[in-house]
Amino acid sequence: MPAIIFDCDGVLADTERFGHLIAFNQTFREFNLPVQWSEADYAIKLRIAGGKERMASLLTTEFVNKANLPLNPSAQKELISNWHQRKTDIYMKMVSEGKLPGRPGIVRLIDEAITAGWKLAVASTSAEQSVRAVLENVAGENRAAQFEILAGDIVSRKKPAADIYLLALKQLKVAANQALVIEDSRNGLLAAVSAGLRCLITRSSYTKEEDMSEAILVVSDLGEGKVPMQVLENRSRARPGDFLTLKDLEACLFS
């Protein structure tokens, strides 16, 4: 049976700009750290996969001295873990309050896939509890229960390494030619392609200018209601209309 493997941030919901960035900056304020990321700063940080890794990128000699942080690597690692847990708590509160609605067409496409018996997974570098919260908020608990969730530190090498997608294939028990990835970023695209997977891109607010030339299909979103999607690049046999359907995904996967 075919499978769809979704990324979380930027695919299920536009969480980076309206969720993660806000949560990072609130965390920095609470811990009295001398930094606030602007949207432009965060666009650069998004090239680093994983929230802990983005926080760790702050730890230059200048920053450590300015913030009066410990020099010991083990102590710094513990600090990063504490910061990240607080950031996750802030982010999950935002999710529970409904501040991060799903992107257009996500629930519709999930319903089509469940009806057709397709396997479903989410593969993300975000913390597992955050990913689960977003999925349940966007799709509902019953739909979310149909998903295999692979997230956080479940693999040692994060995107653009192929590890998380190779693990997803193993967990879903499908071959690479039976699974389609839906991503929004170049890091995610490279991870999918490195795992031998075809990848469909739904561009998000932070990835509009990224090179997606390896993608089988690039769209503005999945399309919903009276707001049609835009097809930006198409290297598949799919000929989608105003919104993407499971039939279009089949054409991407098997063309």
| Catalytic positions | 7, 9
CA distances from 180 to 22, 33, 95, 148, 223 (A): 31, 41, 27, 14, 18
Distance of CA 236 to the CA centre of its chain: 23
The CA-atom distances, in angstroms, between 96 and each of 41, 91, 101, 161, 249 are 27, 9, 11, 31, 31
Name residue, tokens 């967990």.
Answer: 171
Nearest CA to 216 out of 194, 238, 184 is that of: 238
**Residues linked to residue 3 through DSSP beta bridges, in sequence order:** 119, 179
Whether the CB-CB separation of 103 and 13 falls below 8 Å is answered with: yes
- What is the C-alpha separation between 42 and 34, in angstroms, rounded? 15
Helix (H, G, I), strand (E, B) or coil at 186: helix
Which H/E stretch holds residue 39?
Answer: helix 39-45
Residue 44 and residue 46: Cα distance in Å, rounded? Answer: 5
Q: Is it true that the peptide bond before 160 is cis, omega within 30 degrees of 0?
A: yes
